[in-house]
Amino acid sequence: MATSTDPKRQRGFTLVEIMVVVVIIGLLAALVGPEIWRMLGFGQTSIAETQCKTLHDKAMMWKMINRKPPDSLEEMVAPLKQGDDENFLESVPEDPWGNPYILERDGNKIRIYSWGEDGQEGTEDDLVYPKEKR
């Protein structure tokens, strides 16, 4: 007759052991999950800021060549000269949230905007380059 210390009977885990492991994994997910989502949002904001700066730099180069700032990012997609294949942008890029970047021109000043995650102008998550001085 087999006893409780018989190696043949000690296979696998008990239901209690499995439940303890599941509870521990659940607690870890509850503690770490929100931090991961926060960092993901921070990463998307950093990408958008970098793309705004890059688009601003390209608009400034376009301004130096054409002696006037572009009226829109779409204007920078067109070839520089008729019959020329070279252009500053292949297409107007979208920000990490799927919204197009906006070029705003004020005289000779150029600003590039992303309306942020909500896609609405004038909210807290809006990004602009160069940053406006207050």
- Residues 65-77: pLDDT tens digits? 888 899 999 988 8
pLDDT value at 7 more than 80: no
Which whole-number Å values give the CA distances from 58 to 6, 49, 68, 104, in the listed order?
A: 76, 14, 13, 14
Spatial distance between the Cα atoms of 115 and 134, rounded to a whole number of angstroms: 19
The yes or no reply on domain 18-129 and CATH 3.30.700.10 is yes
pLDDT value at 108 more than 90: no
pLDDT value at 48 more than 80: yes
Q: How many CA atoms lie within 13 A of 131 on its CB side?
A: 4
- pTM reported for the whole predicted model: 0.67
More confident position, 41 or 96: 96
